[in-house]
A and B are shown apart, each in its own frame.
Chain A
Amino acid sequence: MSTRNNVRASDAGNVAPETLRVRVWDLPTRLFHWLVVALFAVSWWTAENDKLEWHRRSGYAILTLILFRIYWGFAGSATARFLSFVRGPKAFLAYAARLLDKGAPATPGHNPMGGWSVLALLLLLLIETCLGLFAIDVDGDEGGPLDNLVSFDTARTIAGWHEAVFNLLLVVVTLHIAAILFYLVYKRENLVAAMFSGAKPLPIAAAPQGLRFVSAWWAVPGLLIAGGIVAWIALGRF
């Protein structure tokens, strides 16, 4: 694993002179994020339009990504690791207390409140995709790859949960977007741009020295393991 210090001087004119553009998100984390966004839309659309074949595929892709992200939460760069961004109630409350304070320094990675929203989204997506594996449609025709392991009534109940958890996901996603807009409008922090470029302008005082980054190649074994598990679920005859 390579450790790189990615603090660069800010482009003059783009950001205030006392800030630095700091690399905060590694490539696998960013790709994961935007692929999940795209696949979330695909899953939603295919479910609403009875494209269940593609809904299943999209679900497999999301499950693969979530399993990968769990791996990356241990093996990834500093800002991707659960141990770094899942903070205790003390940090959470301290951050919450200064939420409206425009002078509060920006966090390089997930802030102590946002970390919990990330965890909630990951957990809900994991639950959602796993429920989908056992769900079946009302006609008893289109279902998940493991629906044969449960009765029709059970698979229908699970399909009900699949829908309920999706609605819950919509709530959390809305909160997530609302928070991003709050940061953009109120705090003048563009988190979306940072999730694209990987870099965030941070005040020099708040800029971390030497955030640990691991090579993106370390994502490959995680992706292979995650894809293998999902392929085994999807193609295996249970």
Chain B
Amino acid sequence: MRSRDMVSGVVLGGVMAISAAAMGADPSPADIIKARQGHYKQMGAAMKAIGDQLKSGTPDRAVVIENAKKIAAFAPQIPKWFPKGTGGEAGVKTAAKQEIWAQPEDFAAAAAKLPPEADKLVAVTATGDAASIGDQQKALVGACAGCHKLFRVKDEHPQ
């Protein structure tokens, strides 16, 4: 009996180890949060790069377009960065509010406002003057802020 228990114990342990390894193939909530924060940081850096250009008074269109395209590429992915279980319950410092999962339609609607503004900035930068680029950059900032105000905890976001 004893040895049989041991055998089943080993088998069970092996199964658990294999399933844990299989689960490990999927990113953990903590990994998802970290990746998401990495993406947002890249978007922040792109925003700053655009802002730096606008500040100079004579923006380098190529730099603005390059960074506007970066934001445009990230923007439609945002809803996918927030699978269930990647809020505060994941045990990682995150500024994601529970409302993201409590009001998924509202979150999707707020996030959906970003891609068109980012695309518009690419288009405006190609043809418009510095003032219209500036105006569109403000519209883009507004789209970011619109979602952040509702779904991001103020002051809790990591550096």
Closest 4 CB pairs of A and B: A140-B47, A140-B44, A140-B48, A152-B45
Most chain A Cβ neighbours within 10 Å, of B43, B47, B145, B157:
B47
Let me know if A141 and B47 touch, CB within 8 A: yes
* Contacting residues, chain B, for A237 (C-beta < 8 A): 55-57
| B79 on the A face (CB < 8 A) | no
* Contacting residues, chain B, for A140 (C-beta < 8 A): 43-48, 51
| A155 on the B face (CB < 8 A) | yes
The smallest beta-carbon distance between A84 and chain B, in angstroms, is 41
The smallest beta-carbon distance between A142 and chain B, in angstroms, is 8
* Contacting residues, chain B, for A206 (C-beta < 8 A): none
| B112 on the A face (CB < 8 A) | no
Seen from chain B, the residues whose Cβ lies within 8 Å of a Cβ on chain A are 40-41, 43-49, 51-52, 55-57, 141, 144-145, 148, 157, 159
The smallest beta-carbon distance between B36 and chain A, in angstroms, is 13
| A101 on the B face (CB < 8 A) | no
Let me know if A148 and B51 touch, CB within 8 A: yes
8 Å CB contacts to B: which residues of A79-125?
Answer: none
Let me know if B159 and A139 touch, CB within 8 A: no
* Contacting residues, chain B, for A160 (C-beta < 8 A): 159
The contact string, 1 if C-beta is below 8 Å from chain B, for chain A 143-178, is 100011001110111011000000000000000000
* Contacting residues, chain B, for A152 (C-beta < 8 A): 41, 44-45, 48-49
Let me know if A148 and B55 touch, CB within 8 A: yes
| A9 on the B face (CB < 8 A) | no
User: What would 12 A/B residue contacts be, using CB atoms closer than 8 Å?
Assistant: A139-B44, A139-B144, A139-B145, A140-B46, A140-B47, A140-B48, A143-B51, A147-B51, A148-B52, A148-B55, A156-B44, A237-B56
The smallest beta-carbon distance between B56 and chain A, in angstroms, is 6
* Contacting residues, chain A, for B45 (C-beta < 8 A): 140, 151-153
The smallest beta-carbon distance between A165 and chain B, in angstroms, is 15
